[in-house]
């Protein structure tokens, strides 16, 4: 017959849960495009310590651009044609929220193809924000 866990045991278990809690995390991609440059590749690979639950898409840039995005783990593109940055990325103030979080397994790679639409040099940072899922 099992006996109820003691207060010490419960406290220890709670601390273990804290160690395993979800970690807010940003995975950035930085690229610099020349005027009207197209087909520039950028990638980011998930760390091997945890799966990543993607929840928000963020970007800053010095001009407008378009991207295509593919999850190389499943080899599935996320669009049928390049999508303008304003239709895909928000900012930290007004992020583009995924109502259903998208899970990327550890070591999965997100590959992005950039196209400049500004006709000027364009410095871009994408940030994929979500949680590292240590609890899984």
Q: Determine, following the binding rule CB under 8 A, whether residue 102 of this chain makes contact with another protein.
A: yes
Is 83 among the residues that bind another protein (CB under 8 A)? yes
- Other CB atoms within a 10 A radius of the CB of residue 115 amount to 18
Polymer length in residues for the chain = 136
Contact present, 123 and 32 (Cβ < 8 Å): yes
Rounded to a whole number of angstroms, the minimum distance from the CB of residue 13 to another protein is 6
Separation between Cα atoms, residue 12 and residue 43, nearest integer Å: 39
Shortest Cβ distance from residue 60 to another protein (Å)? 12
- What is the Cα 104 distance to its own chain's centre? 8
Does 65 bind another protein (CB under 8 A)? Our answer is no
x/- track of binding to another protein for residues 5-44 (CB under 8 A): x---x--xx--xx--x------------------------
Task: Say whether residue 63 binds another protein (CB under 8 A).
Answer: no
- Beta strand 51-61 with 122-133: parallel, antiparallel or unpaired? antiparallel
Sign of CA dihedral 9, 10, 11, 14: positive
User: For another protein, which residue of 42, 78, 113, 125 counts as binding (CB under 8 A)?
Assistant: 78
Look at residue 95 and give its three-state secondary structure. Answer: coil
User: Least CB distance from residue 92 to another protein, whole Å?
Assistant: 11
* Footprint of another protein (CB under 8 A): 2-3, 5, 9, 12-13, 16-17, 20, 51, 57, 66, 71, 73-74, 76, 78-91, 94, 96-100, 102-103, 105, 135-136
């Amino acid at each position: 017959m099992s006996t109820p866990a003691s207060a010490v045991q419960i406290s220890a278990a709670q601390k273990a849960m804290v160690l395993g809690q979800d970690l807010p995390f940003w995975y950035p991609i930085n690229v610099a495009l020349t005027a009207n440059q197209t087909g520039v590749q950028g990638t980011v690979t998930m760390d091997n310590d945890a799966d990543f639950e993607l929840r928000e898409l963020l970007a800053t840039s010095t001009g407008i651009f378009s991207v295509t995005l593919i999850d190389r783990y499943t080899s599935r593109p996320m669009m049928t044609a390049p999508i303008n940055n304003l239709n895909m990325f928000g900012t930290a103030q007004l992020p583009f929220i995924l109502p259903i979080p998208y899970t990327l397994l550890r070591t999965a790679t997100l590959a992005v193809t950039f196209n400049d639409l500004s006709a000027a040099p364009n410095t871009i940072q994408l940030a994929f924000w979500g949680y590292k899922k240590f609890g899984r």
